[in-house]
């Protein structure tokens, strides 16, 4: 299985257009050793020819342009992107669908909650009916069904499993205030040819026993790297909200919970990689002490253009 990191940043990317924090300003001035990052999305392939997009970032145009694997090959109009799977309905994960409007009808895989949000609060799919249109593939993760196995046509060797994870519906969602099963999923992708598994979860609010079991079964983890600390945004004067309130488990442990670093250390995955990194996160600075901590535990920080072969 091949994995392309198209974008490794959280919403707003890095540096964020309106942000003058130490990291954003430092990156702009060239004072930090820190790469710019687009908003998160990855592409997965079994054969290196056909690709599935996991989330569709608002930066999709730039992301496709800078990855030759995703360029048209045969014929006048063509794309190797055969399907899109959505992990949630957040703006930074779905608005790239509009950027695919010039192409063929989009084969779209998502939960009932996400299809609902994208036809009500943020009616992207209604809009797309006037362009390429979308073919809906419902992932039955809702109510008491917390996981669903599925296949994607053209990717015969890949076995996908969608897993309900704790999280929130987007701010614009009609049911923002009452969490529902299916608002957020993680994905486990196994290549039947060699049994290798990827666990992908760019927005993970909490790692319970179930999540830890799924993570322990993976060869590669590509998980929520949004915040280093619970009160990172508050301490930098950027926001009043904590990581928990925003639906992201920080990498550091806090008084009340284990952090993502310790969670990853408890697993045996060969690759442990962070994605969806917010502009406020000190791990963006390659010279930071936080980056040394990650290195000491064999944890990688993904970057735009990173390629992983499992
Ligand atoms: C900034 C943003 C922070 C940010 C927050 C979240 C909150 C939101 C919600 C996120 C993201 C970036 N870049 N989605 O101000 O620095 O309230 O539901 O997902 O990508 S979480
Ligand atoms: Zn986000
Ligand atoms: Zn910033």
- Give the C-alpha separation, 28 to 31, whole Å: 8
Nearest C-alpha to atom 11 of ligand 1 is from which residue?
Answer: 11
C-beta 93 within 6 A of ligand 1: no
pLDDT > 90? residue 87? yes
Element (H, E) at 41: strand 41-45
Q: What is the pTM of this model?
A: 0.97
Count how many domains the chain has: 1
Summary mean pLDDT of the chain: 97
For 225-261, how does the pLDDT look when each residue is reduced to its tens digit (9 = 90+)?
999 999 999 999 999 999 999 999 999 999 889 999 9
Residue 24 CB coordination number (10 Å): 23
- Residues within 5 A (CB) of ion ligand 2: 10-11, 92
What is the β-pairing status of strands 158-164 and 271-275? unpaired
Q: Could you tell me what percent of the chain has a pLDDT over 90?
A: 97
Three-state secondary structure call for residue 294:
helix
CATH code, 279: 3.60.15.10
| Residue owning tokens 């015969």 | 156
User: Which residue range is the domain that position 17 belongs to?
Assistant: 2-309
Element (H, E) at 275: strand 271-275
C-beta 16 within 6 A of ligand 1: yes
> What per-residue confidence (pLDDT) applies to 256?
84
Distance 242 CA to ligand 1 centre (A): 11
C-beta 212 within 6 A of ligand 1: no
């Amino acid at each position: 299985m091949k994995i392309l990191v198209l974008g490794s940043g959280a919403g707003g990317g890095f540096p964020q257009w309106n942000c003058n924090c130490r990291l954003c300003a430092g990156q702009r001035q060239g004072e930090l050793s820190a790469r710019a990052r687009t908003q998160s999305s990855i592409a997965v392939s079994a054969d290196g020819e056909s690709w599935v997009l996991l989330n569709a970032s608002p930066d999709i145009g730039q992301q496709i342009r800078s990855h030759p694997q995703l360029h048209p090959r045969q014929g006048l109009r063509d794309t190797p992107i055969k399907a899109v799977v959505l992990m949630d309905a957040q703006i930074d994960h779905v608005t790239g669908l509009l950027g695919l409007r010039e192409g063929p009808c989009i084969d779209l895989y998502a939960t009932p909650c996400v299809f609902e949000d994208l036809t009500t609060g943020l009616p992207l799919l209604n809009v797309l009916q006037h362009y390429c249109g979308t073919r809906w593939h419902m992932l039955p993760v809702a109510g008491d069904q917390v996981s669903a196995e599925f296949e994607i046509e053209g990717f015969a060797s890949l076995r996908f499993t969608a897993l309900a994870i704790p999280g929130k519906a987007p701010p614009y969602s009609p049911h923002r205030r009452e969490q529902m099963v299916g608002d957020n999923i993680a994905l486990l992708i196994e290549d039947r040819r060699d049994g290798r598994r990827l666990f992908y979860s760019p927005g993970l609010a909490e790692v319970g026993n179930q999540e830890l079991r799924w993570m322990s079964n993976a060869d590669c983890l590509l998980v929520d790297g949004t915040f280093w600390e619970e009160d990172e945004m508050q301490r930098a004067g950027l926001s009043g909200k904590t990581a928990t309130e925003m639906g992201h488990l920080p990498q550091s442990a806090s008084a009340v919970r284990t952090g993502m670093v310790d969670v990853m250390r408890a697993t045996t995955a060969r690759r442990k990689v962070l994605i969806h990194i917010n502009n406020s996160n000190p791990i963006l600075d390659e010279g930071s002490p936080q980056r040394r901590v990650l290195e000491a535990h064999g944890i990688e920080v993904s970057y735009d253009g990173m390629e992983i072969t499992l």
